[in-house]
Amino acid sequence: MSIVRHDQNDIMSKVVEHNGVVHVAGNTADDNSVGMKEQTAQVLVKIDGFLAKAGTDKSKLLTALIFISDMSKKSEMNEAWSDWIVAGNHPTRACVVAELGSPQTMVEIIVSAAK
Amino acid sequence: MSIVRHDQNDIMSKVVEHNGVVHVAGNTADDNSVGMKEQTAQVLVKIDGFLAKAGTDKSKLLTALIFISDMSKKSEMNEAWSDWIVAGNHPTRACVVAELGSPQTMVEIIVSAAK
Amino acid sequence: MSIVRHDQNDIMSKVVEHNGVVHVAGNTADDNSVGMKEQTAQVLVKIDGFLAKAGTDKSKLLTALIFISDMSKKSEMNEAWSDWIVAGNHPTRACVVAELGSPQTMVEIIVSAAK
C-alpha cells in the first residue's frame, strides 16, 4: 500500500496518508498571543486545511489527542472544539496537560481521519 | 470503508471502528477517590466494555498509551495492568507522566485493537 | 486480519503488526547517563531494530510521537532526529514535554510505519 505525504518540512510531514487513513501532525496556533479558545480555533482551521489536502474532512475524524498547557482552561478549549466537530461524527478523544513548544503555546492537537 | 461510532457524547465518541481497527478514547476512573492500582483496574474494566461494544476484546489489543499523574506509582498501575493483559497478546505500550483531568485522577489509558 | 507480535515482555510487545501497519512501543535510551542528542540517537537505533523485525524500515514511517523531559533541549533532540529521518519520507510528528520513566530519561519516541 502506497504512502502519500503532504507538506513536508525539515523534520516532518504535516499529513501522511496510508491504507485509507490520514494522519495529521501535531498542530499549534500560529498566533499564540491569544487565549485558549482562540488558539484552539486556529489549530482547528489548520487541521481542516490539512485534511483537505488529503481529500478528507472533519466529518471523517477517527481519533484526536489533545495536549493543553493548563487544565483550568480546558473548558475554553472545549468551546472551540464543540463549535468545530460535526454532530454524529465525533472522533475518540483524550486530553491531558503537557508543556508545549513555547510558554505561550496553550494547545496542540493530533488527529487521524478516514479518507 | 465505513466508520462506526459508539457511545457518542457532546465532545467525543468513546469508540470508533474503521478498517478493522477499533479506537478507544482516553478513559479515566469514575471513582478517583481510590489509589493508582484501583483506578487502573476501573479504567481497564471500562476499556473491556468499550472493546465489547465494537465486537472485540483485550486479546486483540494493538497499542496502549498510558498517562499517569505520578511516576512513583507506576508499579501500582503495572500491577493492575499485568493482571488484565492476556499472555501472548500484549499490545505495544508507552507510559509517561501528565497532569490529568482532575487532581485526583491518577491514570488515563488510550488503546487500539484489531476487530 | 492477523496480528503479529514481536519482542513480548511482561507488560508489552515492543512491536505489533496488523493490517499493513507496524506499531512500535515507546522507546527510551538504554544508557541515560548521556545528553539529549545521544539519548535520541540511541532510541532511533532501537527503533531501526524493531522496524526491521517487522520487515520494514524508517523510509516507511507514518507517525511519530515524541516526549521530551525538557523543551530547552528540543533542538538537541532534533539534531539526532534530522540525522536519522529519510529525506522525502518524513512521518507526521508531535513533540511535547512529559516526565519520563526515570529522572535521567530525556526522550521517549513512539512510531508507526507501513510494512
With CA atoms as reference, report the closest residue to A26 among A12, A6, A9.
A12
pLDDT in tens, A12-71: 999 999 999 999 999 999 999 999 999 999 999 999 999 999 999 999 999 999 999 999
Residue positions counted in chain A: 115
Residues of B in contact with A74 (CB under 8 A): 101
Residues of C in contact with A26 (CB under 8 A): 92-96
pLDDT in tens, A94-106: 999 999 999 999 9
Rounded distance between C-alpha atoms, residue C1 and residue C18, angstroms: 7
Number of domains within chain A? 1
CA distance A91 to chain B (A): 5
Q: Which of B92, B95, B110 to mutate to test the interface with C (most CBs of C within 10 A)?
A: B92
Rounded distance between C-alpha atoms, residue A31 and residue A46, angstroms: 12
Give SS3 for A43. helix
ipTM field: 0.98
CATH of the domain at C69: 3.30.1330.40
Give the strand pairing for C21-27 and B107-114. Answer: unpaired
pLDDT in tens, C43-62: 999 999 999 999 999 999 99
> Is pLDDT of C78 > 80?
yes
Rounded distance between C-alpha atoms, residue C86 and residue C63, angstroms: 13
User: What is the domain extent for residue B53?
Assistant: 3-114
